[in-house]
Amino acid sequence: MDILIKAGQLLLSLSILVILHEFGHFFFAKLFKTRVEKFYLFFDPWFSLFKVKKGDTEYGIGWLPLGGYVKISGMIDESMDKEAMKEEPKSYEFRSKPAYQRLLIMIGGVLVNFLLAFFIFWMTLYKWGDSYIDVADAKFGLTYHELAHDIGLQDGDVVTSVDTLKVKSASDIAKFILLEEAQQLSVKRGDSTFTVAIPSDFKTTILKEEVKGLAAIRMPFVVDSVIAGDYAEKAGFKKGDKVISIDGQDAEYYRQVTNILGENKEKRVTFNIIRNGQTESLRCEVSKKGKIGVGAKVDYFDITEVRYGFWEAMPAGVSKSVNTLIDYVKQLKLVFTKEGAKQIGGFGAIGGLFPATWNWEAFWGLTGFLSIILAFMNILPIPALDGGHVLFLLYEIISGRKPSDKFLEYAQTVGMILLLGLLLFANGNDLFRLFK
């Protein structure tokens, strides 16, 4: 069921993004009286699931969910309609329009995706605001991955800044280390403050080990709810039980408990708990997912909430859009390393970003994020992408010479091969991680 919910959110999100992206091309094409032969959600090699023709345009849904397209008359695109290009140009064709009009048609999709991301962030900030647990309010400190322990951090420490960048939430630590050329951490331990040097190869090690969470808020593991009929109820767990150890290993805090349970899937373990001031032992089975069927108490901290009025949320939405784009661009340099290339993911990785339960706040936040990615990736100067067409159009505007149709055909073919290779590589990584 979890997979179906994630897949459903991914499919809806991508459908919204693709339809609006293609509408951007469609809008400018119609504005400049350019004929659009097809407007499709998903690709339709050999057959389509649905189609209807209105005016000159066939609207439809394909069966191959790898994107979508608009087929514009007189344009060399993924359809590779070479026969049509041999005929004399017609007034309604793309190739007959002035260069500036063709340029606006090509950037229409990217423009819509950027505007969509801004609008989504504006509306989500207005509706839900922003909330996080400030590390300054983490009364039990933070808990760290073993790699962080190796450079001198201890569970309970609080990293207050990375170089001169102030840390607000625990997730900032890994982000600043990976995206900035950080040299040291400022750390608070008890009443003392000191610095920890970041090794030059630390960023590479994080990527190589595929660390998902370098730091997290530390909190005691206290049972808040017990799922009826699950292993925990059968073992005798009750609300208010505080875990202190599992099979003799210290497990007072949430991350310790989840790590130990993850190492003992489909096994029976012994919990030492404190109940009403008394220590008791409970034997409990662990599911194949590393769960026992309890919900842990999480309301230990003051949550920093930022609320926005309707108009206040607008500049905040712009800022979030710009910062999201900047962070994404900074991440690209990691892709060109051996370790970073292994992190590239396809549809499985993207689907894994969505929560296992339907959550509109998370859904729209991720859709805004994906809209930024789709816009940026499409504007890259790669043949077969919008950015490739834009590159050739800019060359034409500057030089006054239009690239030949034969050159554009070859460029389109090379670009499609590159994109297909990247698609196979990214989804191959997903399969490798799945079987691994």
pLDDT in tens, 145-197: 999 999 999 998 999 999 999 999 999 998 999 888 889 999 999 889 999 99
Mean pLDDT value across residues 317-326? 93
- Please give the Cα distance from 11 to 16 (Å, whole number): 9
Q: Which of 196, 217, 238 is the last residue of a domain?
A: 217
146 within some domain: yes
50 within some domain: no
What is residue 138's predicted lDDT score, i.e. its pLDDT? Answer: 86
Residue 71 has pLDDT above 60, yes or no: yes
Q: Is 56 exposed, middle or buried (0-12, 13-18, 19+ CB in 10 A)?
A: exposed
Residue 145 sits in a domain whose CATH number is: 2.30.42
Mean pLDDT value across residues 230-249? 91
| 172/256 same-domain check | no
Residue 342 has pLDDT above 80, yes or no: no
What is residue 339's predicted lDDT score, i.e. its pLDDT? Answer: 64
pLDDT 10s digits, 25-47: 999 999 999 999 999 998 888 88
306 within some domain: no
Mean pLDDT value across residues 347-353? 76
| 170/186 same-domain check | yes
Q: Which of 244, 276, 296 is the last residue of a domain?
A: 296
409 within some domain: yes
- Please give the Cα distance from 354 to 352 (Å, whole number): 5
What is residue 68's predicted lDDT score, i.e. its pLDDT? Answer: 87
- Please give the Cα distance from 86 to 204 (Å, whole number): 52
| 145/107 same-domain check | no
- Please give the Cα distance from 260 to 242 (Å, whole number): 16
| 421/405 same-domain check | yes
Please report the sign of the dihedral spanned by the C-alpha atoms of residue 172, residue 177, residue 182, residue 186.
positive
CA distances (Å), 291 to each of 262, 265, 284, in order? 8, 8, 10
| 278/200 same-domain check | no
- Please give the Cα distance from 321 to 114 (Å, whole number): 8
Distance of CA 254 to the CA centre of its chain: 25
Q: How many domains does the chain have?
A: 3
Compute the mean pLDDT over every residue in the chain, rounded to the nearest whole number: 87
Domain boundaries, position 166: 135-217
| 87/8 same-domain check | yes
What is residue 1's predicted lDDT score, i.e. its pLDDT? Answer: 66
166 within some domain: yes
Residue 290 sits in a domain whose CATH number is: 2.30.42.10
Q: What pLDDT band is residue 108 in, cutting at 50, 70 and 90? A: very high
What is residue 416's predicted lDDT score, i.e. its pLDDT? Answer: 78
| 115/27 same-domain check | yes
Residue 341 has pLDDT above 70, yes or no: no
| 194/113 same-domain check | no
242 within some domain: yes
What is residue 67's predicted lDDT score, i.e. its pLDDT? Answer: 84
Closest alpha carbon to 121 in 326, 372, 373, 329 = 372
| 271/207 same-domain check | no
